[in-house]
Amino acid sequence: MAFDLVQYFAEQLETQKPELLPHLSKEDKRSHIAEINALTLGELISQWRLNDKKVYQEITSPDDLYVQEVARHLTTSKENASSLPRTELEELTAAIFKRQLTELKQLHDTGNHTLQSIRELLLGQIEHLSGQADNWVWSTNNLLELKGSKPIIADELSLEESMKEFNQMVNQHTGHEQEEAAPIIPAWSKVAEPLVAVVILWVLYSAVCNIFA
C-alpha cells in the first residue's frame, strides 16, 4: 500500500497554511480544504496518466504558472460544485495545489525518488482518495472510477437514545398486544350482573334443598 498522501497533505495544510479560509468555522474550513485536497491530488493523478514526464517535471521543478493554470482549469469546470465563491475557490485551489507540489518535491529529493517510484506513489493514492469526497470532485478531476465511493452515513444515535427508542417500541408493541388480548365487555352486561347472581344463588339453593330433602 502506498504512503497516504491524502492524510499527509491534510496535516501539512493544517499546520503550514493556517491562514486558509480564516472567516470559516474550524469544521467548515476542514471540509472545504479536504474537498480541494482531493480535487487537486486527483487532478495530478489524471494528468500523470496522460503525460507522466510532464507532471514529473512539474513536481521536481514546481512552476507558479502551472499551478495557476491547474487552479483556473479546475475552478472554471462546469462540474465543480464547490459552495465557495469563484475568486476564493481559485485562490484556495492554487494554494493547496502549490503546497502539494512542494511536499512532493521534498519527498522526491529526500527519498531519492525516480519517475517510476513517483508513479507508484501517485497511482497508489487512488485507494486513499476513495470515499473522501462527493461525486462532483471526481467528475471535475476525471477520476471517474471513484464516483459513488463516498458512503452515505446516517445520523448516529447515542446508546441512550437508541435504548430509549427501543424501549418505546417494545412498550407500544406490548400495549397493543394487551389491548388486543383484553376481552370486550358490553355495557349491558354490567346491568345484568345482579340478575345473573340471583339466578345462580337460586339454583344453588334449590340444589341444596333437594340434597337434604
112-153 confidence digits (pLDDT tens): 999 999 999 999 999 999 999 999 999 999 999 999 998 765
From the list 12, 37, 2, the residue with the least C-alpha distance to 117 is 2
Q: Which residues contact 149 (CB under 8 A, 6 or more apart)?
A: 130, 131, 138
Taking phi over 0 as left and psi of -120 to 50 as alpha, with beta for the rest, 148 belongs to: left
d(CA 195, CA 193): 6
pTM of the model: 0.71
Which amino acid, residue 156? E
All structural domains of the chain with their residue ranges:
5-146
Q: What's the pLDDT tens digit per position in 172-206?
A: 655 555 555 555 555 555 555 666 665 566 666 66
